[in-house]
Every structure is written in structure tokens, then in C-alpha cells.
Amino acid sequence: MMKDKKYLLIPGPTPVPPRVVEAMSRPIIGHRSAEFQGVMERVTGKLKKIFQTENHVFVMGSSGTGALETAVVNLVSPGDKVLALSGGKFGERFAELAKLYGGEVIFEDFGWGYDIDLNVVKKQLDANPDIKVVLATQNETSTGVQNDIKALGKLVAQYDAVLAVDAVSGLGAIDLKTDEWNVDVVCSGSQKAFMLPPGLAFISVSDKAWAKIEKNTTPNYYFSLLKARKNIAKWNTTYTTPVSMVYGLDAALDMILEEGLDNVFARHALLAKATRAGIQGLGLELLVPDEYASLAVTAVQAPMVVDADTLRKVLLKEYGVTFAGGQDMMKGKIFRIAHMGYADKMDVIIALASLEMALGKCGYKAELGAGVREAQMVFVGGEHA
């Protein structure tokens, strides 16, 4: 075998297209130059189309978690009530950040593998009219759950609270109409559906959110949105920008916009449907039901005969295929297959074909081709499409 042939099928970092790699190889220019200001203006305009917003959108040099911390440090003053909605690892992370900065956090844990219950949210907002911020996750990658941000935005808009959404792994793969759905702050990152290496974060801010930010008393420096707003007036970033990453972002955004947002969302929906069909064709159990399953990543319960991490080791060693494992309470119990960003039909076929062979090596009896066949039926528009 070609031992260096690898297939990366995890929910970040995701594969980077050659077009993006080529763009990132361009010579460096000054990040305060007029030429780079032109790049930033162009890139920001494209980002607004992906965010589907007229609000400010900022580019930051950080991971996606940096965008989450930016949201919290600018919105949450010590003692502010924060409603944190969680159904997995990243919902918990958002809540931890709010606690770190002195927020009085009301933590609603809906359970790993479950989506947000809007009735619970409404009860908390009615019982606590002084809630300043609601924190939610669009796409909970630890469980493969996709939350209904449209419905949540409609609900929160009826209150004084602002809605901040972690869309780090969802934006660019799953529809999120920032303005239309009343989402005040949207956080995302480069290494997921944006098809870039880790290193950039993005955040949009509504007028309703700015009213909170301008009164905020939490000390901040690198993650100051007020500084970012001042600098973006001249198409500058507050601190040194990863120039090469912005070149790559420019190319990646072109790829997304050339495909068309609706087509991008439809592609992710098709890949998710085919993946889930293939998993069920192998007799394996999905972690979450179809009604709130992610379009970007599929979580699968390991069969009784082998734990998920052992199976993943076989996949990597024998076939060069990398799936993501479970986190915290899900460690060893699930594996996760990503189908986001620079992903297409053959990525799903490779994932399922390698899984079939690895399962056999681990003692799980599955008919070779059973999962691949079900995915193919979805792709060709057969009876399962």
C-alpha cells in the first residue's frame, strides 16, 4: 500500500482544496498596505454573503474558540445573567467561557445527542427577564446534532436578550440567515466548512448586540470588538493579520459563492443523507434521529463487538482513513464521519467502503458493499432518495 495516502474525514480541520493552497502560496504583502486593505474589503463583502447579513463581519487571527471568547468577553459583564443552551462538548465550552468572565450562567443541558427544547428556553426567558445573553450552538459536532436556529432566533428576538450562536462547524455547510433569523452574534472558524487550515475566526455583530457591547465592563484587549469596529472603517484589522490565510479565504469564498449557497447546502444535505443511509445499511445505530441530524457530520454508535477507538485505529492503520472519535462521555462509544466543506460523493463512498472492511477485521459481520449500495441509491436518485 501507499502508506502516505490519507483520507481526512473529521469535522475539522477538513481537507483544503488545491485552489486554496495555491492562493495561500502567494508572496506576503504588508498587512497595513493599501493593497491588503483592498483584499480585506473584498473578503469582508464575500463573508457577508455567507453570513447572509448586512451587519459588521470581522476576520480575526485565532481558532474558532477565539470567536466564542470574543462574543463572551464583549457581551458579558460580571454578574450578567447568561442562558447557556447545551447538548454537547461545544455548548459546554460556550457556558464555561461565560462563567470564566463572571457571568451568572443558567445552564440548560438538554443531554448529549439531543437538540434544544424551545419550551424550556421560553420558560427561562420568562422567569428571568434580566437575561442579557443567550448562548447556543448551531451544529454540535460532538454529537452530530443540528439545532433549529431559525426558531430560536424568532423566540429570543421577543426579549431584551441578545442571541450569540456558535456556528464554527456549521456556517458554510448549513443555512443560517443571520439577519432574517434575528441572530445577533454569529461565530465561525476557518477549518471547517470554509475549507481552510486552522487560524482564522469570523464574527458578525448586530445593532442590538452593539448596544450591549458599548456598555460592557469586562476588560479585554486582543478580542475587543470596539477596536475591531474602529479599524474596519479603514479595512484594517486591529492586530497583525495572517495574510496568507486571508488569501486562502478569498479563494475559498469564491468557490462557495460560485457553487451558490443553496447548492452548497443541498450538497451537504445529500452527503448527510447518503452517509446515514449507508450506516443503517450496515446495521449500525445512528446517535441522533433524522429530524435534528447534522448536515455536516454523522455520529455513529460503535457495535457491541468493538469500541469506537479500536475501530478508528484499524481504519487509519489499514486504509489511511481518519474518522473522529467520541469526546468525554462518548469516548469509545461513537465515531463521527464528517462530510463538510471540500467534500463530495466519493468521500462518502470511501468512508463507507473502508468502514465495511474495518468492521470485518474487528469481528462485526456485515455484508461487504451493503453500506456503499445504500449510499449509491441515494446518489443516483433511487428508491431511497
* DSSP per-residue string spanning 8-74: E-SSSSPP--HHHHHHHTSPP--TTSHHHHHHHHHHHHHHHHHHT-SSEEEEEES-HHHHHHHHHHH
Any binding-site annotation on 276?
A: no
Query: Distances in Å between the alpha carbon of 20 and those of 15, 178, 190?
Result: 10, 26, 12
- Rounded-to-integer distance, Cα 77 and Cα 104, Å: 10
- Rounded-to-integer distance, Cα 221 and Cα 22, Å: 33
> Which residues have a Cβ under 8 Å from the Cβ of 288 and sit 6 or more positions away?
113, 114, 143, 144, 145, 294, 299
pLDDT of residue 4: 79
How many of the other CB atoms lie within 10 Å of CB of 355? 28
pLDDT of residue 2: 63
> Which residues have a Cβ under 8 Å from the Cβ of 223 and sit 6 or more positions away?
60, 66, 69, 70, 73, 74
Compute the CA torsion angle 91, 94, 98, 100 (nearest 10 deg). Answer: 110
- Cβ distance 199 to 183 under 8 Å? no
pLDDT of residue 237: 87
pLDDT of residue 187: 98
DSSP string of 162-210? Answer: EEEEE-TTTBTTB---TTTTT-SEEEEETTSTT---S-EEEEEE-HHHH
Helix (H) and strand (E) counts in the chain: 13, 15
* pTM, two decimal places: 0.96
Kind and range of the H or E run holding 88:
none
pLDDT of residue 1: 58
Task: With H, G, I as helix, E, B as strand and everything else as coil, classify residue 335.
Answer: strand
| pLDDT tens readout for residues 168-190 | 999 999 999 999 999 999 999 99
Count how many residues are written for the chain.
Answer: 385
pLDDT of residue 328: 94
pLDDT of residue 366: 85
Task: Give me the residues of the chain with pLDDT under 50, please.
Answer: 383-385
Nearest to 62 by CA among 263, 259, 220, 197: 197
- Cβ distance 134 to 85 under 8 Å? yes
Q: How big, in percent rounded to 5, are the helix, strand and coil portions of the chain?
A: 45, 15, 40
Phi, psi of 114 (to 5 degrees): -125, 155
Domains of the chain: 18-258 (3.40.640.10), 260-379 (3.90.1150.10)
- Rounded-to-integer distance, Cα 385 and Cα 376, Å: 10
pLDDT of residue 384: 44
